Amino acid sequence: MKRIEEALAYIHGRPKAGKKDSFTRLDALMTVLGHPEDRLAETIHITGTNGKGSVATMVTAVAKEVGLRVGTFTSPFMTDFRERFQINGELITPADLILYTNKVKEATDRVEQASSGQLTPTEFEVVTAIMFLYFADQDLDLAVIEVGIGGRFDSTNILKTTKVAVVTTVALDHQAMLGDTVAAIAGQKAGIIKPGSKTVIGPGVTAEAKEVIEAQAKEVGSPVLVAQVGSFHSALSGSFQADNTATAVLALKTWRPNLQDEVIQAGLDQAFLAGRFEQIQPKIYLDGAHNQAGIQALHRSIKENLAGPVTVIIGSLADKNVDLAFLELEKDPQITLALVPFEGVAGRPGLQKDQVDLANQDLIWYDSLDQALSENQEKTVVITGSLYFISDVRRELCQKKS
């Protein structure tokens, strides 16, 4: 591969899913690559139903402010795939992405050949391998790594350099993969806690989930610290960021206890994350509230920050538990609720009209986002739902603006 388009086509052409209860494929791939994950810098590993990206962004901003060299791995991306691999906030260069994708492709081909096709690394495993190789070569002071889904069997969880394991929030999401109860999901997320690491729990984690996390931490001998909202604040908008800020600050202080409060606040002031209650036009906001807990947090931000009528436009994946949250939004006289078509992503279709069963029929369906925006020009509009949907919308609207 010599062009970034070829590298992206290879990555996105990998199988989307595979058996998630072992690391057999990834272990084989890492063996061929010489286990770059073992050469990573000290790591802050972040999981949670919501808030992972915000906490990772804040931790990175502060570490950069301190003068450290920090690598950040997040998912999904908002407008550019290269966002997933950053050094001090700078995206991986096209040349480096091509270089490391070629290395991983060569290793993947060897794994598949040696196993007679029985071991076929997935897209996320390939992306994770690229990250490990890239970060291992970057002489980092810190790696900030966001879990993809869950934790225990997430590809990032082959890490051996975790110093702080962070659980931001625990709520129902991805039940088909993680379990049908908060306790079961907490158990999956607690799987990132390692011997020799410390555990940080977000202030909004429920007692039920906290009990599961603390039991796992005790089993491996990891001290547990619970974040509490304090005087720190970040440049990220939305009332829900208070919890995320507290979590990020505690994670940083747990990793480096001697960090000065003034430096931490200076870093938080520089934090920016697209698509988190982000105002992209005078009356248009974007927020990736992609599950029930996220929509509830968004609702609080609307009530606290926006005056007058607000139209909330949602494009969601069909496998998200958002129906109950719709009911809460519908009851608010300030809010008009609307849905627009979203095709979804490979293997995960978008929510369709006939899949929403609401007693209140005030829900508006538009044929397109353009129609929704055109008919709500005089109102404040908040566009929300799947991060994949928000990514598409942000790309489209920011291009129109420029």
Query: Which residues does residue 284 pair with via DSSP β-bridges, in sequence order?
Result: 281, 381
Phi and psi, residue 11, nearest 5°: -60, -50
CATH no., domain 278-401: 3.90.190.20
pLDDT (tens digit per residue) in 296-349: 888 888 988 898 899 999 887 665 555 666 767 878 889 988 888 887 666 566
- Is the pLDDT assigned to residue 252 strictly greater than 70? yes
Whether residue 292 is predicted with pLDDT greater than 90 in this model: the reply is no
H or E stretch covering 178: helix 175-178
- Model confidence at 93: pLDDT above 90: yes
The pLDDT value recorded for residue 314 is 86
Ordered DSSP codes for 121-174: --HHHHHHHHHHHHHHTS--SEEEEE-SSSSTTSGGGG-S-EEEEEE----S-S
- Residue 257 predicted with pLDDT over 90: yes
Rounded Cα distance between 373 and 383, Å, is 10
Question: Which run of H or of E encompasses 313?
Answer: strand 310-315
pLDDT score recorded for residue 285: 92
Closest-CA residue to 295 (of 303, 124, 111, 145): 303
Mean local confidence (pLDDT), 184-208: 94
Identify the burial level of 326 via C-beta atoms within 10 angstroms of its C-beta, where 0-12 means exposed, 13-18 middle and 19 or more buried.
buried
Percent of the chain with pLDDT over 70: 89
The whole-angstrom separation of Cα 40 and Cα 84 is 17
- Does 3.40.1190.10 match the CATH number of domain 4-268? yes
**Whole-number pLDDT of residue 346:** 60
**Is the pLDDT assigned to residue 48 strictly greater than 50?**
yes
User: In the predicted model, what is the mean pLDDT of residues 267-279?
Assistant: 88
Predicted TM-score (pTM) of the model is 0.86
* pLDDT confidence bin for 353, thresholds 50/70/90: low
CB 384 within 8 A of CB 288: yes
pLDDT of residue 359: 46
User: Given this model, what pLDDT does residue 178 score?
Assistant: 55
CA distance 253 to 265: 12
Confidence of residue 175 (pLDDT cuts 50, 70, 90): very low
pLDDT of residue 173: 56
Who has greater pLDDT, 341 or 259? 259
Please state the domain extents for the chain.
4-268, 278-401
